[in-house]
Amino acid sequence: MASDITAREHPAGSVLSLRGATLRFDRRTLWQGLDLDVAPGEFIAVLGANGSGKTSLLRAILGRQPLSAGEALVAGEPVTAGNPRIGYVPQQKLADEGTPLRARDLVGLGIDGGKWGFWPSRSKRARVDRLLADVGATAYANVPVSTLSGGEQQRLRIGQALASDPRLLLADEPLASLDLSNQSAVSELIDRHRHERGFGVLFVTHDVNPVLSIVDRVLYLAGGRFRIGTPDEVLRSDVLSALYGSPVDVVHARGRIIVVGTPDSGHAPHDEHHDAGHEEVCDHNPEDAEAVAL
């Protein structure tokens, strides 16, 4: 029975527990046999080319995408849509110009999903003020979101995601389109709160460098397979070459890690996500997909 498996195989206290998690679309396997336990306060960077299934993994954990096989538990419970134990920062979309929503309204949505009146207004206001302060957004609390910079908007979206006091934070490319100083600010914000509040983090990023000093482990998805381990264990030429099944170089230069020569890097040189941290881009179609756990 599923409940027996759950009790036996999932360590108590994990904020996320995946067992044999597999996702296929038609004949294409995005990942399979994925086993992962995320401890409270643990920070995991999710790396991989565009199309390797990073967003789909988050969607599966959110209960928006059924697994093809395997099991996923969040804080010991089977996944459910709308789980308040998960904070979610979706892939960034800047607010449309003219959106009347103020900064504090956006954060407030994380408390009650916009159902005004569910929280007594004074207590809700105090909570919103606290969250705004937590993410360093007090100064622009009453400003329309659409007038704020990408970095400012991203702080608010993290505040919104933290409003339900989650056990697990899922952040999908939260650094995309931010300049270097905002990349550091947003990374440090999440890092500070995961220690203070003890939530686990799955942090999807195209470039590991901005979070290299923060991450506990990386989950690297490629060609229907994956590796999990510390950055030193996974971000190595031999390990990634084995994962991709072709020669890949991991180069250390000026304190940065650069992955060169991934099979998917040559196909889409104009891809918007192409950057120095990860050469790999574009979709690929793994035939012989197989899970490789480190």
Ligand X SMILES: Nc1ncnc2c1ncn2[C@@H]1O[C@H](COP(=O)(O)OP(=O)(O)O)[C@@H](O)[C@H]1O
Q: Which of residues 52-111 bind ligand X (CB under 6 A)?
A: 52-56
Query: Considering only residues 29, 55, 154, 265, which one is a binding residue for Mg ion as defined by CB under 5 A?
Result: 55
Helix segments in 169-273, DSSP class H: 180-197, 231-234, 237-244
Helix residue ranges per DSSP H, 81-149: 103-112, 121-134
Q: How far apart are CA 161 and CA 138, in angstroms?
A: 17
By C-beta, is 71 or 264 nearer to ligand X? 264
98, 179 Cβ separation under 8 angstroms: no
Compute how many residues bind ligand X; rule: CB under 6 A: 11
Q: Should residue 160 be labelled a site residue for Mg ion when binding is judged by CB under 5 A?
A: no
Residue 56 Ramachandran class (φ > 0 left, ψ -120 to 50 alpha, else beta): alpha
Candidates 11-19, 43-51, 92-100, 137-145; binding stretch for ligand X (CB under 6 A): 43-51
**Residue 171: beta bridge partners?**
89, 203
- Single out the residue of 267, 283, 290, 293 in contact with ligand X (rule: CB under 6 A): 283
For residue 191, give both structure tokens. 């890092």
Shorter beta-carbon distance to ligand X: residue 22 or 50 = 50
Name the residue among 145, 76, 73 with its Cα closest to residue 107: 145
Contact status: 25 vs ligand X (CB under 6 A): yes
Point out the residue whose Cβ comes nearest to Mg ion.
55
CB nearer ligand X, residue 131 or residue 170: 170
CB of 24 to ligand X, least distance (A): 9
Residues 87 and 74: their CA atoms lie apart, in Å, by 12
Instruction: Name the β-bridge partners of 251.
Output: 258
Interaction between residue 224 and ligand X (CB under 6 A): no
- Binder to ligand X among 17, 32, 50, 265 (CB under 6 A)? 50
Closest CA to 267 of 12, 50, 96: 50
Phi–psi pair at 222, nearest 5 degrees: -160, 130
Give the one entry of ligand X, Mg ion, none that residue 231 binds, where binding means its C-beta sits below a cut-off of 5 to 8 angstroms depending on kind.
Answer: none
- 223 lines the binding site for ligand X (CB under 6 A): no
Residue 48 in contact with ligand X, rule: CB under 6 A: yes
Cα distance between residue 263 and residue 267, in whole Å: 8
CA atoms within 13 A on the CB side of 109: 12
Task: Select the binding partner of residue 30 from Mg ion, ligand X, none (C-beta < 5 to 8 A, by kind).
Answer: ligand X
Q: How far apart are CA 286 and CA 27, in angstroms?
A: 9
**Closest CB to Mg ion among 103 and 204?**
204
The CB-of-252 to ligand X minimum distance in angstroms stands at: 25
Q: What is the nearest approach in angstroms of ligand X to the Cβ of residue 30?
A: 6
**Residues from 179 through 218 that contact Mg ion (CB under 5 A):** none
**x-or-dash pattern for Mg ion, window 25-54, by CB under 5 A?**
-----------------------------x
Cα–Cα distance measured from residue 264 to residue 25, given in angstroms and rounded to the nearest whole number: 19
Q: Which positions lie near ligand X, rule CB under 6 A?
A: 25, 30, 48, 50-56, 283
Q: Which positions lie near Mg ion, rule CB under 5 A?
A: 54-55
